[in-house]
Amino acid sequence: MKKILIFILINSIIISFPFDGITAPVNVPGRPLLSIQANSENSANVTLEGDFVVNRKLEEEVCITKATWTTLKVTEIFWDGRVQPYFLLGALLDGEFKQELNSADIKYKTDDALTWGVGTTILVCGITDRLGLGLDVKYRQTNPSVAKVNIDGTNFSRNDDNVSLDCDYQEWQVALGLCGLSERFLGYGGIKYSDVNTSLKAEAGGIDTDDTVNSAKNVGAFIGCEYTLTENTTIGIEGRFIDETAYTLFMAVHF
């Protein structure tokens, strides 16, 4: 009963946090979760993440200018703390894309949409009892509707006559990170390889485009830390750089 009450309280605190006012990184595909729980009896956890992307350049002059992800991550540790598969379920909020096409400035605004994903964190090498090398593999996708498009300052809605708008989004990532553990802190950092596959369609205002693009850059870096609040609760923050500008805030309850 105590764990249930703590879990409800934590979720209430995070949901009330003003995510919409923050424009920054994600805790998307790359946080090795080699943590205190690996040596405890609490091998399962539920994590609530707020993931914020403020800039990610794609091919063909396309750029993600804003994306807010709220995600519930459910995990379980196996094989003496070495393998941690997880499932992701959440929503994409405030998705915004920008595209330059034939001197036209096109801005896409998406509706809120369901997102899902899967992944696995692996302890590749335990260097010491408090230092390890971890590998994280993650995939997530969403298929949001485009609510409106702005072409050179003029707005067009998908409900307007002769207007057709669409968007699909997929992302996968492999991250290799070094993780160090102290009494209450877990610090980590490393490199990652990730790719975004996005299709954007707009038929409005004399523009007719239907493009599928990938990331302009694939290699980036990440750094983060996790802090133990109680025996069953941790909080943390992560930033991602070079290939994107993004950060993630998260809180986990261990069972």
CATH code at position 139: 2.40.128
**CB of 146 closer than 8 Å to CB of 98:** no
**pLDDT (0 to 100) of residue 42:** 59
Render 19-71 in DSSP notation, one character per residue: GGG-------S------GGGGSS--EEEEEEEEEEEEEEBSTTEEEEEEEEEE
Kindly state the percentage of the chain with pLDDT values over 90. Answer: 52
Q: Which of 12, 28, 35 is nearest to 70 (CA)?
A: 28
pLDDT of residue 82: 78
Tokens of 34: 């080699």
Residue owning tokens 């500008």: 245
Q: Residue 37 sits in which domain range?
A: 2-254
- Please answer whether residues 253 and 3 qualify as being in contact, where contact means their C-beta atoms are separated by less than 8 angstroms: yes
Q: Which of 114, 136, 188, 146 is nearest to 28 (CA)?
A: 136
Q: Average pLDDT of 21-32?
A: 31
Interval 195-251: pLDDT, tens: 999 999 999 999 999 999 999 999 999 999 888 888 788 899 999 999 999 999 999
Q: What is the mean pLDDT of residues 100-111?
A: 94
Looking at residues 52-74, what average pLDDT do you find? 94
When divided into structural domains, the chain yields a total of 1
Amino acid at 128: T
Model confidence band, residue 28 (pLDDT cutoffs 50, 70, 90): very low
Spatial distance between the Cα atoms of 116 and 130, rounded to a whole number of angstroms: 32
